[in-house]
Chains A and B, each alone.
Chain A
Amino acid sequence: MSRVKADHQPMIYAVGGGKGGVGKSVIAANLGAALALLGRRVVLFDADLGGANLHTFLGMSSPALGIGTFLSGKVGRLDEVAVDTSVESLRLISGAGAGLETANLKYAQKSKILRHLRKLDADEVILDIGAGSSFNVLDFFLAADQGILVLVPEPTSVENAYHFLKSAFYRTMKDTEPKGQIRQILSRVRGELEARGIHSPRELVEQISREDLEAGMSLERSLKAFRPGVLINRVREPGDRRLGDDVSLACRDYFGTGVSALGSLDYDSLVHQSIVRRRPILELFPGTAFARGIMSLGERLLRGSG
């Protein structure tokens, strides 16, 4: 990924993963704290409407200002609803009290948010997009400069992550210009291949290129731009650290484009303690495995080698 942004626009990260309970929020909150400690001006954006809880990880009761305030039109800029946290240089845009679920955001509301995220006065913006693979969740993920797909070493999590990735890939393909033409050939060739038991986007693009070189090339181009990273959380067995590399390899073969491995975070019982005490783990136990893992993830992301 490139960290060179026009007009000092913030770099946007989206933390997702399809499955609930894998650690998206605790990672988003602590990654926000890590980037702030590394000297960046950070805004956390709780896009998990309906399940918003980033404020709790930071020891705040539900803030009066948030996404709901912005959507109601009472303020004109997202910056006005970004509230300070206990961590210097880390602000939060809360999703609590927005009065709706992410999946139910209207198209115009979602577009407005996405447009305004780029205008935030910050260096880094981190979205917690919550669970599921609804169109809105996918669109937050796809709008980010760097997607971070969190999974834990359990088949249910791997399954949901792949479901999420497949949905995100097809959504990317369908949005490729020229849309009308692409959608037509896409659905025809997809139907033909699936009748033969073939679902892989890579073979789909290859087949489309054989039939319509131009369509194949624009699909390839838009898929190349989608390069999410996978982060393995709650690692207990050393062997599970490799899961990210293996998933990345399988994705490369299956989707035909890079899904980078962002490393792993160990299972750490102090994570639970830090949540109960409602403080970032970086503040309470900076030396513990999870805290060190998050710091090094933050450093890697800032170097742009994610």
Chain B
Amino acid sequence: MKDGQRVRDLEWLDLDPDAGDAEVIAECRRRLTLYAGDHPAIYSLMSEEERHRMLARIDGILSRLKKPDSGPPLSSTPVVEDSAEGVPAAPDSEAGPAPDPATSPGDFLRYLRRSCGMDLREISAETKVSERQLEAIEEEDFSALPAPVFVRGFIIAVARALKVEKPEELAGIYLEKIAGGGS
């Protein structure tokens, strides 16, 4: 089952059947930039509906990748659904309640990171997002972050490293918060 899906994903990305996850991620990143918004190269090519379907397709491919060091694919991570639209509650290995990802996605990511016992440097090494930017993400310091196009990719990468069930959903919440002007 899973292999068939993998073959389809690789084919969709125009990659060789034996391509590794790093190549898949690189191809997906290129496309996340291309379809994130007003890219001049897709002007008038597709409807908004189609653009969102492209993004969803890419998110789907990314979510089917295995986590870097542990076995099970992301989709089988045990989830405790909380009220925030399918974003999982953090594993409560640390004292205190998990921040609500719907209102404080940055705090939520920091809470998750700490509860995994990881520091910024480790996350940075894994996601290739700089420590400074990781900090800005957790602080929700939007002025220190690049264009939303890139932030989206960052959040997805970080969320994935932290084994969030639906990274793209969290990215969506985060971008909405940025779009809200941080007012």
Interface positions of A (Cβ within 8 A of B):
153, 155, 158-159, 162-163, 196-200, 243, 246-247, 249-250, 252-254
Interface positions of B (Cβ within 8 A of A):
12, 14, 30-31, 34, 39-47, 49-50, 53-54
Q: Do A200 and B50 touch (CB < 8 A)?
A: yes
Can you list 23 A-B pairs with a CB-CB distance of less than 8 A?
A153-B40, A155-B43, A155-B44, A158-B40, A158-B43, A159-B43, A159-B44, A162-B44, A162-B45, A196-B49, A197-B49, A198-B47, A199-B50, A200-B50, A246-B39, A246-B40, A249-B41, A250-B34, A250-B42, A250-B45, A252-B14, A253-B31, A253-B54
Q: Do A254 and B46 touch (CB < 8 A)?
A: yes
| Chain A residues positioned under 8 Å from B54 (CB to CB) | 253
| Chain B residues positioned under 8 Å from A253 (CB to CB) | 12, 31, 54
Task: Report how far A189 CA is from B28 CA in the complex, Å.
Answer: 29
| Chain A residues positioned under 8 Å from B42 (CB to CB) | 246, 250
| Chain A residues positioned under 8 Å from B12 (CB to CB) | 253
Task: Report how far A247 CA is from B40 CA in the complex, Å.
Answer: 9
Known contacts A153-B40, A243-B40, A249-B34: A254-B45 contact under CB 8 Å: yes
Main SS class of interface, A: helix
Task: Report how far A196 CA is from B49 CA in the complex, Å.
Answer: 9
Closest 5 CB pairs of A and B: A246-B41, A197-B49, A159-B44, A158-B43, A155-B43
| Chain B residues positioned under 8 Å from A162 (CB to CB) | 43-45
A228 to chain B, nearest CB (A): 15
A257 to chain B, nearest CB (A): 10
Task: Report how far A158 CA is from B46 CA in the complex, Å.
Answer: 12
Task: Report how far A158 CA is from B30 CA in the complex, Å.
Answer: 19
Extra contacts, 4 of them, besides A155-B40, A198-B49, A254-B45 (Cβ < 8 A), are A163-B44, A249-B41, A253-B12, A253-B31
Task: Report how far A162 CA is from B14 CA in the complex, Å.
Answer: 21
| Chain A residues positioned under 8 Å from B40 (CB to CB) | 153, 155, 158, 243, 246
A154 to chain B, nearest CB (A): 9
Q: Do A249 and B30 touch (CB < 8 A)?
A: yes
Q: Do B50 and A158 touch (CB < 8 A)?
A: no
The residue in chain B whose Cβ has the minimal distance to the Cβ of A158 is B43
Task: Report how far A132 CA is from B151 CA in the complex, Å.
Answer: 39
The residue in chain B whose Cβ has the minimal distance to the Cβ of A196 is B49
Task: Report how far A197 CA is from B42 CA in the complex, Å.
Answer: 17
Task: From B14, B43, B50, give the contact of A197 (CB < 8 A).
Answer: B50
